[in-house]
Chains A and B, each alone.
Chain A
Amino acid sequence: MSEFLVRTENIAKEFSGVRVLDDINIKIKKGEIFGIIGENGAGKSTFIKILNGIYNQTEGEVYFEDDNVKMSVQKAKKMGINTIPQEFNLINDLNVYENIYLGQEYQKNRLLLDKNKMRKKTVEFLKELNTEIDPNEKISNLSVAQKQMVEIAKAVAYNSKLLIMDEPTTVLTPFEVKTLFELMKNLVKKGITIIYISHNLKEVNEICDRIMILRDGKFVCIENAADINEEEMANRMVGRELNQMFPPKVQESKENILEVNNLNVEGVLDNISFNLKKGEVLGFSGLVGAGRTELAETIIGIREMSSGEIKVNGEKKLINSPTKAVKNNIAYLPEDRQGVGILTNFNITSNITLISLEKYTKFLINHKKTKEQSRYYIDQFNIQTPSLDTELQYLSGGNQQKVSLAKSLDTEPKIFIFDEPTRGIDVNAKMEIFNFIHELVQSGISCIFISSELEEIIGMCNRVVVMRSGKITGILEGEHINEEEIMYHATGVKRGVI
């Protein structure tokens, strides 16, 4: 028995002739936390999908515990390779314990389900995670962070040898991240090996033993985490020196473009009032579940408000459907990209022109015009794609996000609401999005910027609205926009405690 759990030899993967992963030779030690970083499209996801059997490699060999294996999803699971995916794999209509034991249910008398045992075990797993979730709760009633904890509990329940975590912290609050890291350290002590993928370089550096860097599908280097700092990591990922992260802030005008007065949504939002000035970036900060997405959804007419008013350019408007929002030049970039943002089986052009199709239609759609427009966005946003006809499911997360952005932008909005626009995308794409927002406000468009990343909020926003359980707890300006003030308002009286 060697000290290595996984070995790969000359792994390569091609999709319809395009090499997305090339010649990867690595050895992962038993009981280590092995980080993988790289930009979108660097091949991180492809690599782990070869390890967990979703893809078959075009070339090369995979060794697991010294056995040469031709991986498949079933085999991987049997051997103890489990993945906590970026997009969750839970069945919304089943409850927590049913999801955790899906496919490996306990039975009594070889016939009936042993629900009590499964419930009891589930409680134990969740306790280990320091989470209090009712095992009988339906998945659809859980918050994103809670769903993630269930995913992790599910992986633990499968007696994992290798646990692959793809961007596990993007949806977690700082407190939950700390819990997760504690848990990971415990898992490693039990002999579990972890592959950890994240765009948050600080976290990768903190938790991982060794870090592999990929760029454009090629291996760059493996370093001990102790020997490399964040800046160096970022530079090697991109292959050049990174400049200033955030563009300069633009001075907003005095005029209000959007006013929200005493807005209430039964059980979700409580007496929300704020205003957005022309050419401003207005940040919305708060913990997961503070009601920021719900507020955005109310403004664009997805949710019904029980009372309150919305004024656009000083005029009272009734926005009770997304169609009305578009008419009032309000655009929304949703947080849940694949759930509500883009159609994965539609091609790039059809996605980009989905909301704005009216523009391109007399009686029939002018396909030439729609293609021209999407070609413009592909250049503008540097979208990496084989062709205009590529379905979005074949694009990387960052490129999907850019298409989603183009789709909202094509409606020619005056007010643009960004909801976690950088979730799950890499440093370079993040900077592109920040610069894009900067260009928008320069051209007089006003932006609402919802983000859980304090650094982004502080770097980007003219003013910051902080929310907590459906209420606004503070609107910060100037020097008050700092981490401590935001956290103070976000957590309420009990500073730093969730």
Chain B
Amino acid sequence: MNDKIKRNNKSIINILKNIDFEKYGPLLALLILFIISSFASPYFLKMRNLTNILRQVSYTGIIALGMTFVIISAGIDLSVGSMTALVGGIVVLTLNYFGGGYFAIFIAIIVGMFFGIIFGAFNGLIITKWNVAPFIVTLGTMSIFRSLTLYISGASEFRSTSSLFPQLGMGYILGLPIPVWILLGLTVLYSVILNHTKYGRYVCAVGSNEKVAKYSAIKVKMIRFFTYVIVGFNVAITSVLLSSRLNSISSSGAGTGYELDAIAAVIIGGTAMSGGSGSVVGTLIGAIILGIVNNMLNMLGVSPYLQGTVKGLVIIGAVLIQRKKD
């Protein structure tokens, strides 16, 4: 009897030992966090709370999906937060210009997407064409985008006059908020792109070793350029959803800190900063982990000023756990 228990224990330890932590670490962490949270607070498992968490993470989560490609290609994009505000502002201005009806919403979305792609392409162009470090370029555009937002709005708010627009950001389909559906849909799409298309394979190759990629007839610059375009596109989606939820965009507050949350989600999701490989689904999990941590800290009444500390510890801890052994 005792023997059997011992053997069982042993096999459990063996199973734990054999788990590929690099691959399933984030998922495991999410499960553990989920279980702890459901014991810690009776409200955690309420449907309303869970959908709220998902909605909260969807804004930076969508950006993080794009950021995954950038980081796998051994790049970084610090400008996404400011870009969110600027594109959001443009969306609201366009919406107001065309009167705020369904047609105006349609046009505003198209224009927003267009500018998101343009801003992303601007980052990508400088990085690849003139070979400037991505950190520097996007640090620069981070400042540029925020400053333009403040200038255009006169340092106040972009306020939408449309009564229809909030339907998009506030709406539900089959019990889930629209932004959550978009987050999940994009996760599937990008996961397929990363794992099952040439482009995804090339992004990994470029991040793994640029020279090998070049010798392997891969258009390195083109590949890297498009990672920034993808981020810009995703930022635009977030901008539309965010401005529609609030029916306004604050020129100073919108999108601040998004770059850090997006990068954190990617890292927690198991993608290495050094590039070469990574996981889109991991990034989704990383974003949700961050969301649950925030949610729990709120519910447990931890000072909001301390939440940054916990977030920081989670990021560092995630990297430590996932580090390759021997």
Contact = CB atoms under 8 A, between A and B. Distances in A.
Interface stretch (A86-94, A96-104, A361-369): A361-369
Given A343-B208, A343-B209, A346-B205, A322 B215 contact: yes
B215 A340 contact: yes
B217 to A, nearest CB: 4
Given A321-B217, A364-B196, A343 B205 contact: yes
Interface string A348-374: 001000110110010111010000000
A365 B214 contact: no
Contact of B192 (A325, A334, A339, A364): A364
Nearest to A366: B196
A354 B205 contact: yes
Nearest to A339: B211
Contacts of A357: 198, 201-202
A345 interface: yes
A363 B216 contact: no
A342 interface: yes
A342 B201 CA distance: 14
Contacts of B276: 343, 345
A350 B197 CA distance: 12
B113 interface: no
Contacts of A350: 201, 204
- The residue among B196, B198, B219, B276 with the most chain A CB atoms within 10 A of its own CB is B198
Given A365-B197, A365-B198, A343 B212 contact: yes
Contacts of B197: 361, 363-365
Nearest to B219: A323
Interface string B259-277: 0000000000000000011
Contact-residue bracket for chain A = 20 to 34
Nearest to B275: A345
Interface residues of B, number: 22
A-B pairs, 7 with minimum CB distance: A322-B217, A364-B196, A323-B217, A340-B215, A326-B217, A343-B208, A340-B211
B208 A355 contact: no
Contacts of B212: 339-343
B257 to A, nearest CB: 31
Interface string B190-201: 001000111001
A442 to B, nearest CB: 26
A476 interface: no
A28 interface: no
A302 B211 CA distance: 10
A407 interface: yes
Nearest to B195: A365
A332 interface: yes
Contacts of A363: 197
B219 A334 contact: no
Nearest to A360: B198
Given A302-B215, A340-B211, A341-B212, A361 B277 contact: no
Nearest to A322: B217
A55 B217 CA distance: 36
A343 B277 CA distance: 11
A3 B309 CA distance: 58
Interface string A232-270: 000000000000000000000000000000000000000
Interface of A: 55-56, 300, 302, 321-323, 325-326, 332, 334, 339-346, 350, 354-355, 357-358, 361, 363-365, 367, 407
17 contacts: A300-B215, A321-B217, A322-B216, A322-B217, A332-B215, A334-B215, A340-B211, A343-B205, A343-B212, A343-B276, A345-B208, A350-B204, A354-B205, A354-B218, A364-B196, A367-B196, A407-B216
A358 B215 contact: no
Contacts of B216: 322, 354-355, 407
B214 A322 contact: yes
A365 B196 contact: yes
Nearest to A363: B197
B215 A341 contact: yes
A365 B192 contact: no
Contacts of B196: 364-365, 367
Contacts of B208: 343-346
A342 B215 CA distance: 10
User: Which of B192, B204, B215, B326 is most buried by chain A, counting CB atoms within 10 A of its CB?
Assistant: B215
Contacts of B213: 343
B279 to A, nearest CB: 14
B277 A354 contact: no
Given A326-B217, A334-B215, A355-B216, A345 B277 contact: yes
B32 to A, nearest CB: 26
Given A343-B209, A345-B276, A354 B201 contact: yes
A325 B217 contact: yes
A354 B211 CA distance: 13
A350 B192 CA distance: 16
Contacts of A55: 326
A64 B208 CA distance: 38
Given A340-B211, A365-B198, 8 more contacts: A322-B215, A334-B215, A339-B211, A343-B208, A346-B205, A350-B204, A354-B201, A363-B197
Contacts of A358: 198
Nearest to B204: A346
Interface string B64-79: 0000000000000000
Contacts of A355: 216-217
A396 B212 CA distance: 19
A361 B201 CA distance: 11
A421 to B, nearest CB: 15
Interface in B197-242: 197-198, 201-202, 204-205, 208-209, 211-219
Interface in B145-164: none
Q: Which of B197, B198, B212, B213 has the most CB of A within 10 A?
A: B212
A363 B199 CA distance: 10
Contacts of A365: 196-198, 201
B21 to A, nearest CB: 15
A300 B326 CA distance: 38
A326 B217 CA distance: 7
A419 to B, nearest CB: 11
A407 B217 CA distance: 12
Contacts of A56: 326
Contacts of A364: 192, 196-197
A339 B212 CA distance: 7
Contacts of B202: 357
Interface string B310-326: 00000000000000001
